[in-house]
Amino acid sequence: MTWQLRVGAVQMRSTGDLKANLASCAELTARAADKGAQVVALPECFSFLGRGEGDKLAIAETFSEGGPVITMLRELAIKHHVYMLGGGTPELVPGDARRTYNTALVVNPGGHLISRYRKIHLFDVDIPGGATLRESDATAPGDEVVVVDIGGAPVGLTICYDVRFPELYRRLVKDKGAEVLMVPAAFTAHTGAAHWHLLLRARAIEDQAWVVAPAQWGRHNDKRESYGHTLVVDPWGTVVDELETGDGVIVATLHGESVRHRRAQMPCLDHAVLWK
């Protein structure tokens, strides 16, 4: 029997106040659970979004101990009996006092950390007419491609800027069997207006997979503004649901049958050549 999964994608506006951010996560997770979500996906930077890249060092965790971020994810998973995807939070790098990983965490309904993905592609850009951002100043890149079983669905984990690198998604699908692609993000307002919908729909279409993209929205401080537009996209590239602005959650039921139908109807993945 094919899998079916009800997913809640959270949109929020994080700041440099860890306690307030975690309170928002709790409120929005409860909303998603009330709508029947089996998985609640939080955006990138759900725990903290400061003015400078180095600010996050103060709240970074190892996740093997009971820090506030992992404790919250575990408590919410148990309370609401859901899988929690913490879409990107600072993880301490052993032996590196200057940088953290940008890490997505998956906690199961029993409160156990079952998977983590460390963001591979770091956002170092000079945006025309926008900001200059250097994520690598205080972030170490990951190097592992991660797919995790969530309620029977093979889910590929990515974060934000990764969405611009289709070869990562092709590996998630062709090599590791992903049928759902998670893209939690804090996309800038400038680049989001130009590319957010195009990139997410392209990843869904070319990989014939569901795409779930929980997002940050609005002005976080005097240096950062995010685009919002939390999306769920089906394997045909159709936007199933969207939240343009404001704190909130969209909930959609994903199913493996639509993946199999589209891949049989148009067998692009069978025809794909993976170049070395």
Cβ neighbours of 27 (radius 10 Å): 13
pLDDT digits (tens, 9 = 90+) for 98-125: 999 999 999 999 999 999 999 999 988 8
Q: What percent of the chain has pLDDT over 70?
A: 97
Please give the C-alpha separations between residue 73 and each of 87, 164, 213, 256, in angstroms, as whole numbers. Answer: 11, 28, 19, 26
Residue 33 domain-assigned (yes or no): yes
Number of domains in the chain: 1
25 annotated active-site: no
* Domain CATH for 139: 3.60.110.10
Residue 240 domain-assigned (yes or no): yes
Residue 51 domain-assigned (yes or no): yes
> Could you say which of 53, 61, 91, 119 is catalytic?
119
SS3 for 56-117, per residue?
A: HHHHCECCCCCCHHHHHHHHHHHHHCCEEEEEEEEEEECCEEEEEEEEEEEECCCCCEEEEE
pLDDT band at 129, cuts 50/70/90?
Answer: low
CA atoms of 173 and 156, how far apart (whole Å) = 8
> Could you say which of 25, 56, 160, 179 is catalytic?
160
Residue 195 domain-assigned (yes or no): yes
Q: What is the pLDDT of residue 66?
A: 87
Q: Global pTM?
A: 0.96
CA atoms of 121 and 162, how far apart (whole Å) = 5
Domain hosting residue 242, numbered range: 4-271
Task: Inform me whether the pLDDT recorded for 158 exceeds 80.
Answer: yes
Residue 54 domain-assigned (yes or no): yes
- Mean pLDDT, range 28-42, rounded to an integer: 98
Residue 276 domain-assigned (yes or no): no
3-state class of 259 per DSSP? helix
> Could you say which of 44, 53, 91, 225 is catalytic?
44
Q: What is the pLDDT of residue 53?
A: 80
Task: Inform me whether the pLDDT recorded for 9 exceeds 80.
Answer: yes
44 annotated active-site: yes
119 annotated active-site: yes
pLDDT digits (tens, 9 = 90+) for 193-230: 999 999 999 999 999 999 999 999 999 998 889 999 99
CA atoms of 199 and 237, how far apart (whole Å) = 10
* Among candidate residues 41, 55, 54, 30, the one with its CA nearest the CA of residue 6: 41
Residue 267 domain-assigned (yes or no): yes
